[in-house]
Amino acid sequence: MKARTGSAVRVDPWAVCDWVVWKLEVDDPEQRISESYHEAGMGLLLAADSRETMVGFASRLGCVYEGCKDDGSYGSDNDSCYAWWIRVPQAAHTQRTARGWPLVVEECRQQLDRMFADGHHWHGWVDEGRTRALSTGEMMPPLL
């Protein structure tokens, strides 16, 4: 498959893989996602809470929910960020949104946004290490 980027056309390096792992990450500098947990006097259970819903949601899309990391940070202020990994079959990987993400990854992002993020800034990209490990049979790297 060839992907169009601006005026350039490039070959998708993941077109030969049966499954492609996408990482979705959301920034939460105002800590609005974690605020409801703190107000309830609970620890942050984002990974556990999202797993309950996202395993089934991803499965209905033909994907596999791989996990969530809810203790990330970015920038000089160590602002909170959270990440989810979704394994996407090749046929779905080729069906893209205008943003360049697979349609099924965008659907997962929308579901997570409804659950937690309230319109925060999302990033998405192929997790090269996890995709390569799936393709070659190597040991799967940890969620980072």
The reported pLDDT for the residue numbered 7 is: 52
Question: Could you confirm whether domain 17-136 is CATH 3.40.50?
Answer: no
Nearest to 90, CA basis, from 13, 19, 10, 2: 19
The reported pLDDT for the residue numbered 117 is: 61
| The pLDDT of residue 3 is above 70 | no
Chain-wide mean pLDDT for the chain?
Answer: 84
**What's the predicted TM-score (pTM) here?**
0.83
pLDDT bin (cut points 50, 70, 90) of residue 69 is confident
User: What is the tens place of the pLDDT at every residue in 17-63?
Assistant: 999 999 998 887 667 677 766 676 665 677 788 888 899 999 999 99
User: Could you tell me where the beta strands, DSSP code E, fall in 1-144?
Assistant: 2-5, 8-11, 19-28, 64-74, 79-89, 122-126
Residue extents of the structural domains in the chain: 17-136
The reported pLDDT for the residue numbered 126 is: 96
Q: For 77-101, what is the mean pLDDT?
A: 90
User: What is the tens place of the pLDDT at every residue in 113-132?
Assistant: 888 766 678 899 999 999 99
